[in-house]
Amino acid sequence: MRLGIHLYTFGSLSGAARRAAEIGATTLQVFTASPRMWRARPPDPKEVAELNEVRKRFDLRPLVVHVNYLVNLASSDLAIREQSIRTLRGEFERASMIGAEYLVVHPGSAKGQPREEAIEAVAQGIRDAAGAAGAATLLLENTAGCGSSIGDRLEDLRAIRSRALELTSAPIGYCLDTCHLFAAGFDIVSPSGLRATLREFGATLGFEHVRVIHANDSKTPLGSRVDRHAKIGAGHIGAEPFRRLMACRQLRRVAFISETPVEREGDERRNMAMLASLAPKTVVRRTRRA
């Protein structure tokens, strides 16, 4: 099991990797460009070389890239859809350049169209964006179900993946976010509810296709359909459900990455320590000096 957090690069991918090592992470997630702007530049080759050296030195893997929040492959607005495809194509290219193993994307919003049409649009968008993609596996992330977003149902994710695999040879898997699951109505707090949810994971998605878990508590209650991340143990989910989730034998090879808020200096280290404290005791944890 690999444990890590999402780190902002502040212009330095290698710097983010060093911070990950310093706080004891064994994996990390980053943006390769601003998550709220269409424009993006290719990574500096020197930065990429330094990133690869730091990852090798501290055995940081996998490297996960989160796609720009503006991307909406399901959009019925032709201009937004075309820009989303171009942007996702750029994300694939940058992920390949920096050697990332995974690329996480939200399915998007089906506003103004039936869900089935939106799912088809996402699958076709993946085909058009992937092209001659590198080695990064695209991971479809579940959503909280706010508004017209798709992906709050596991069946949506399975349908998108199945259809996309008919259209492209690009590898595709899943990223599951605990805050989104809870907000979408999955009871992962009670032991019986978590067992039922895990059974649904296996039956609908297949555990072998789940590669990353975003370990986030929720500021909103069960079924709220509102995506608001909280620090683990400080929200409506609480700490103990994460301990039970991380003990699931089918998820032992999954990367658990926290995307919890950084509000004060030292929160990155504290958030990482909380995640590590809930992991099975067989998971080796240590703080490194980068």
Is 177 in the active site?
Answer: yes
Catalytic residue among 128, 152, 217, 227: 227
Catalytic residue among 66, 94, 158, 211: 66
Please, are residues 211 and 102 in contact by the beta-carbon 8 Å criterion?
Answer: yes
Catalytic residue among 36, 249, 264, 286: 36
With vertex at residue 260, the alpha carbon angle to CA 258 and CA 266, rounded to the nearest 5 degrees, is: 100
CA distance 211 to 90: 22
Catalytic residue among 156, 177, 217, 268: 177
Catalytic residue among 19, 180, 217, 268: 180
Strand partners, 290: none
Catalytic residue among 153, 259, 270, 285: 259
Which amino acid belongs to residue 10? F
Give the per-residue SS3 of 155-202. HHHHHHHHHHHHHCCCCEEEEEEHHHHHHCCCCCCCHHHHHHHHHHHH
For residue 131, CA distances in Å to 53, 126, 217 come to 29, 9, 36
Is 156 in the active site?
Answer: no
Is 66 in the active site?
Answer: yes
Is 227 in the active site?
Answer: yes
Is 44 in the active site?
Answer: no
Please, are residues 78 and 69 in contact by the beta-carbon 8 Å criterion?
Answer: no
Is 69 in the active site?
Answer: yes
Is 180 in the active site?
Answer: yes
Catalytic residue among 59, 69, 208, 253: 69
Is 214 in the active site?
Answer: yes
Catalytic residue among 2, 6, 94, 229: 229
Collapsing DSSP to helix, strand or coil, 218 comes out as: strand
Please, are residues 110 and 150 in contact by the beta-carbon 8 Å criterion?
Answer: yes
Which amino acid belongs to residue 170? A
Is 120 in the active site?
Answer: no
Please, are residues 98 and 63 in contact by the beta-carbon 8 Å criterion?
Answer: yes
CA distance 88 to 69: 11
Crossing angle of helices 45-58/78-98, nearest 10°? 60
User: Active-site residue numbers?
Assistant: 36, 66, 69, 106, 141, 177, 180, 214, 227, 229, 259
